[in-house]
Structure 1
Amino acid sequence: MSDIEIAELRKLTQFISERFSYDFKDYAMSSFRRRIKRILDLYKLKSVDELIALLDSREGFYEEFVSELTVNVTEMFRDPTFWRVLKEHIIPNIMLNHDKISIWHAGCSSGEEVVSMAIVLDEMGILDKAKIVATDIDRSIIAKAKEARYSMKNIEVHRKNYQRYQGKHALENYYDEIGGEAVMHSRLLQNVSFRKHDLVLGSVFSKFDLVLCRNVMIYFNQTLQNQVLHKIHESLFKYGYLAIGSKESLIWCDIAHKFIVVNNEEKIYKKIKD
């Protein structure tokens, strides 16, 4: 099919907003268009109008659509040096003044990042002192994250990342292989609360020492990024830390002055003003 017109995308976002009360209009247009095109190919639809008709008529299709639209390829210990900085600097700094730590994974996807965090905390001997909240807009991906079962086909990638992170043990110490899947030990997630939350329209629901919102905002335009960053700023304790993706930045955002850069390489910031 030919390229999707902006007018068609506007019609689609308008329909979703009215029918499902979700606002996609401020998603980065090139990324949104690419993903919609993939969905049309996947479901063998000839046009955006056909997609709208399907969303309108088929029970449960909207959830499938959101899953496909927000699909996020992720790995355990992705960017191993980032996890080392967390282990060696950020988490010890938080624990200097606290006997507990609260962490929010905003846009947790299928949970590999949450599992990685649990392993880091476990190896630091403070997993039992952590309260972790993991949220995503997609209900089905949250259900997957809760199960913490990952295909053995991908385990080599996770294992190499863990080795580069310089973990204390072997990754095998943290899962059982069952039916071609690595089933992570349930104790890793005992202090994790998974919930559906919309970063765009959802409210501020708690305060955290550390927020990870990595590789989520690359899909948003500047307006939406600003909205989300305001919400995250409000969700952080003063002197709390924010980690974003390696291709993301706070520099231009209108609350940039309320943060200082702690590690520019790994995109870690510290809130210094309420």
Structure 2
Amino acid sequence: MVNTSTIQEIELTELRRLTAFVQERFGYDFSNYAMSSFKRRITRILELERINSVDALIRKLEQNPDTVHDFISEVTVNVTEMFRDPSFWRVLRDKVIPNILLNHDKVSIWHAGCSSGEEVYSMAILLQEMGILDKAKIVATDMDKAILARAREGKYTIKNMELNEKNYIRFQGKGSLKDYYTVNGGVAQMDKSLVANISYREHDLTQGTLFSKFDLVLCRNVMIYFNQQLQNQVLHLLHESLFKYGYLIIGSKESLVWCEIANKFIVANNEEKIYKKVKD
């Protein structure tokens, strides 16, 4: 067994050594992640891998470069569900998207940090039930190749689908979530036609590259793992990625109040953390 008391003694200098190695060797920059959160994740990796020290983890990554994908998957949080926070999805359906369509024939949407794709399928189902899925251009991005592959696949455990179904009922969807998937061997396969026109791309928010403009950007429960400097950097990117009068949606525990670009947005819905861009 691994000595967990040793693992809990990870020093900040060790974490900095690890982040420097990962950035130099693999190009992923975790230097501005919130260190308390990053430390918890590294502790979990050491326990899972039965490794006693950060230096031993660095050696493993150096000797087996392919394991970096498992490392990235563990460090980046992938806990998600369909129609998470159902009241938010109702506001999106009843207020936000109709407002966008007042002045546009189509709607462009970016899911930034899409994880395993539950949020993307939720959006596709919502748009399908509104009768406008064919009017939507959707891009879904994540820095984790493995999790993007899972998102593309659209397969989820039946156990997870039970929670997703409860969320869908609270969202007040038009039918049943079961209308949108088939079951095979205890696994739910989502209807691929829902995401036929969705573009999945590898993209690292921390690298700050602008690649398109959107009417609606969802970046929910991603920035809580970043320090203030990185949050500001990412929010600048999200602001630049929105058309004027476009909407930015962040997580329930996140806020724009303190950030450098706060004055370029107005609050469209404080409870659901929906902001409208009013200045370029």
Q: TM-score, normalised by structure 2?
A: 0.97
2:247–2:275 contact (8 Å) kept in structure 1: yes
3-state SS in 2 of match to 1:60: helix
From 27, 31, 34, the equivalent of 1:25 is 31
Counterpart Cα distance in 1 of 2:75 and 2:151? 17
Query: How many Å separate the matches in 1 of 2:226 and 2:87?
Result: 26
Report the Cα offset of residue 144 of structure 1.
0.3
Report whether the alignment pairs 1:253 with 2:255.
Answer: no
Per-residue displacement from partner, 1:212-248 (whole Å, max 9, x unpaired)? 0000000000000000000000000000000000000
SS in 2 for 1:182: strand
The equivalent of 1:272 in structure 2 is: 278
- The CA RMSD measured in Å over matched residues stands at 0.7
Q: In 2, Cα distance between the equivalents of 1:15 and 1:5?
A: 16
Secondary structure of the 1:200 match is helix
8 Å CA contact 2:137–2:197 kept in 1: the answer is: yes
Amino acid corresponding to residue 217 of structure 1 in structure 2: M
Q: Which amino acid aligns with 2:55?
A: D
Correspondent of 1:94 among 69, 92, 100 = 100
Partner of 1:165: 171
The residue number in structure 1 matching 2:196 is 190
Identity among equivalent pairs (%): 68
Gaps in structure 2 of 5+ consecutive residues: 1-5
Aligned with 2:19 (options 13, 24, 37): 13
Counterpart amino acid of 1:206? Answer: S
Structure-1 residue corresponding to 2:144: 138
On the 8 A contact 2:33/2:225 being kept in 1, the answer is: yes
**Which residue identity is paired with 1:129?**
K
- Give the match for residue 155 of structure 1: 161
SS of match in other structure, 1:19: helix
Pairwise CA distance, 1:100? 0.5
Partner SS for 1:82: helix
Which of these residues, 76, 79, 90, is aligned with residue 70 of structure 1?
76
> Which of these residues, 115, 125, 128, is aligned with residue 119 of structure 1?
125
Cα deviation for residue 17 of structure 1 reads: 1.6
Which consecutive unaligned segments of at least 5 residues does structure 1 have? none
TM-score if structure 1 supplies the norm length? 0.99
Runs of 4+ in 1 over 2 A off after TM superposition: none
Give the equivalent residue in structure 2 for 1:45: 51
Taking the aligned partners of 1:180 and 1:71, their CA distance within structure 2 comes to 24
Amino acid at match of 2:71: F
Report how far residue 18 of structure 1 moved: 1.3
Is 1:242 matched up with 2:242? no
Q: Which amino acid aligns with 2:278?
A: I
Instruction: Give the Cα separation in 2 of the matches to 1:269 and 1:255.
Output: 12
Write the distance in 2 (CA, Å) between the matches of 1:59 and 1:245: 33
Q: In the alignment, what sits opposite 2:41?
A: 35
Once the 2 structures are TM-superposed, how far is the Cα of residue 202 of structure 1 from its aligned partner?
4.4
Give, in angstroms, the shift of residue 21 of structure 1.
1.9
